Amino acid sequence: MGILVDILIIQAIVVFIIDLSGAVEDMVEPFLANVFKQPSVRLKKPFSCSLCLTFWLGLIYLLIFRSFTLPYIAYVCLLAWLTPVTKDILILLREFILKALDAVSLYFHI
């Protein structure tokens, strides 16, 4: 795939993991608290912020694939800025699929 699509997919994965799945609060932070024998551990940015993580992972991706140019950096910045919109789109997509499945189950009496 092209660089633009790859970075878009990275953004969607980061938004899902950080904002939607709850993996950071429910799995990673309790695990780290257990490892470090602390009552609680809060991850700092960029590991708890989808905007920050998208930005840094996008820049790292550009460096690895030798595409560190101003237009690509601007694209990474735009996608990082749009992480709240991506979160809303993913939620909307999930709700649409659930409504469609409800309609199908009512139609076919499942």
Residue-level pLDDT at 24: 82
Q: Once rounded to an integer, what is the mean pLDDT over residues 91-104?
A: 95
Q: Is the pLDDT of residue 40 over 90?
A: no
Q: Is the pLDDT of residue 38 over 90?
A: no
Q: Once rounded to an integer, what is the mean pLDDT over residues 80-92?
A: 97
Residue-level pLDDT at 55: 97
Residue 67, C-beta contacts closer than 8 angstroms, at least 6 positions apart: 3
Q: Is the pLDDT of residue 1 over 70?
A: yes
Q: Is 11 within 8 Å of 86 (Cβ atoms)?
A: yes
Rounded Cα distance, 77 and 7, in Å: 11
Q: Once rounded to an integer, what is the mean pLDDT over residues 66-71?
A: 96
Domain housing 13: 3-108
If one counts the domains in the chain, the total is 1
Q: Once rounded to an integer, what is the mean pLDDT over residues 10-18?
A: 96
Residue-level pLDDT at 30: 84
pTM: 0.85
Q: Is 76 within 8 Å of 14 (Cβ atoms)?
A: no
Q: How many Cβ atoms sit within 10 Å of the Cβ of residue 86?
A: 20
Q: Once rounded to an integer, what is the mean pLDDT over residues 32-45?
A: 81
